[in-house]
A and B are shown apart, each in its own frame.
Chain A
Amino acid sequence: MSGLPLASVPDPVLELRNVSFMRSGKVLLDHGNLMLTQQGRTIIIGPNGAGKSLLMRLAHGLLEPSSGTIVCRHNGSGTPRQAMVFQRPVLLRRSSLANVTHALALRGVPRRIRRNQAEQALARFGLTHLAQRPARILSGGEQQRLALARAWALEPDILFLDEPSSALDPAATKAVEDAVNVFFRKGTKIVMTTHDLGQARRLADEVVFMCCGRILERTPAATFFDTPTTVAAAAFLRGELVLAPWESPTPLTTNG
């Protein structure tokens, strides 16, 4: 597993302090605490319903936490620029190029340089030949690459990806993973969920393990896959079904 070492001096880019999220009386995220640094690719894994997508939506600001605070910082003070790629790419009913220029317009980029920047973003992900094609008739893999190119044009400091390749074939999945690494090499913080353990092993510098609405651990990837800290993560890695504590007597975390 290659990757940058995690910073020894914490330089948090994103911090969740006691964040809870409730919907119709159910606690979907229970007092989550998490500190992510600018370096590395953070992969969030856990069983379905663990709250992975919810965590990302809260961090990205699409949802307001019921309690707790979320702090985003960049280089100590400024607000980091963010972008998010969803499981199913949401593309406008326009050409591929217009999808990117629209995103630049929302970001406030002056009209005269939008087209140029959009074309560069498309070229970066090998989409130049599809620039004038209506985005909605592209294949699933091409659509996700376009969503990545659109995010690239926004030059984010943090890129959130919610199961970006779960609906794609292996070739398109590889294209998505390569794209993630293009962002990573440029210094973009990667925060990504996946339910594919192989993908987590390929990409992760650190792993955040979630289960039943709780953030159970944040561990360097090299350690996590061999010796996870929590019982639940170990069971998950063995391929067992991990149940919530109220559904099973097994504790989620080690007892002391």
Chain B
Amino acid sequence: MNSHDPFTLALSLILSGDPGLFGIIQLSLQVSLSAVLVASLIGLPLGAAIALFRFPGRGLVITLLNALMGLPPVVAGLLVYLSLSRAGPLGQFGLLFTPTAMVIAQTLLVLPIIAALTRQAIEDLWEEYREQLQSMGSGRVRAIPTLLWDARITLTTAVLAGFGRASAEVGAVLIVGGNIEGVTRVMTTAIALETSKGDLPLALALGLVLLALVAAVNAVAYLLGQASRRHMQ
């Protein structure tokens, strides 16, 4: 293999710890993990509450949540862009083209996934536990922590699915972040740009890291599924 081969160059970029490359990786992880954290803090209790309580319009909320799981990232990006742009309702905060804007956009993408999957998991579990928990004197509100803990494996998988979506999407972060070098450039936007510029080694190096990341997330999800089959049927 000759040393100008893009694949070899990509590997040497990764192995040499290239600061530009690792800066991009670090920002990507920061943005996506923050988005997943915020989406989990809102989505887990929200999903559980929708599962346990009956209220007018519940069916509509569930349908909407399920539909939003497939929200196209560019549309999410566009919505956040419109809200954060100078003329938008949140324009005065000057958040457009900052990492915060990217976190907001990705939270919007991840929240429906976590909330909808939580709702489904908790509803199934409540169906199974309801009589027993009621018999032991647990009301619906008290049941929420019990159910969230007992659904922990499924919910971890849901959070990982959210992280997979956040770290792999390009449309939303590109629109609201702007792909500014050193400020808002993340792995996916960098890959898109470097490929079009012809800098294949950097694009390929980022691609390999992203691939490894997604593979690792899926491996963890798989192992958790195995563990749950062994321990809790």
Binding site for B on A (CB under 8 A): 57, 60-62, 82-84, 86, 90, 92-94, 102-103, 106-107, 134, 136-137, 154
Interface of A is mostly: mixed
CB distance from B129 to the nearest CB of A (A): 6
Quick check: B232 and A102 within 8 Å, CB to CB?
no
Known: A82-B135, A90-B128. 7 other contacts (CB 8 A): A61-B134, A62-B131, A84-B131, A90-B131, A102-B146, A107-B137, A137-B233
For A61, what are the chain B residues with a Cβ–Cβ distance below 8 Å? 134
Answer yes or no: B15 CB below 8 A from chain A CBs. Answer: no
Contact flag A93-B138 (CB < 8 Å), given A134-B231, A136-B232, A137-B233:
no
Contact flag A86-B131 (CB < 8 Å), given A92-B146, A107-B137:
yes
> In the complex, what distance in Å separates the CA atom of A103 from the CA atom of B128?
16
Q: Residue on B with the closest CB to A134?
A: B231
Interface of B is mostly: helix
Quick check: A83 and B135 within 8 Å, CB to CB?
yes
For A103, what are the chain B residues with a Cβ–Cβ distance below 8 Å? 136
For B134, what are the chain A residues with a Cβ–Cβ distance below 8 Å? 61-62
Q: Residue on B with the closest CB to A92?
A: B150
Answer yes or no: B142 CB below 8 A from chain A CBs. Answer: yes
> In the complex, what distance in Å separates the CA atom of A158 from the CA atom of B149?
30
Answer yes or no: B132 CB below 8 A from chain A CBs. Answer: yes
Quick check: A62 and B232 within 8 Å, CB to CB?
no
For B137, what are the chain A residues with a Cβ–Cβ distance below 8 Å? 106-107
Quick check: B132 and A90 within 8 Å, CB to CB?
yes
Quick check: A106 and B136 within 8 Å, CB to CB?
yes
Q: Residue on B with the closest CB to A94?
A: B150
Determine which residue in A60, A103, A106, A136 has the highest number of CB atoms from chain B within 10 A of its CB, and name it: A106
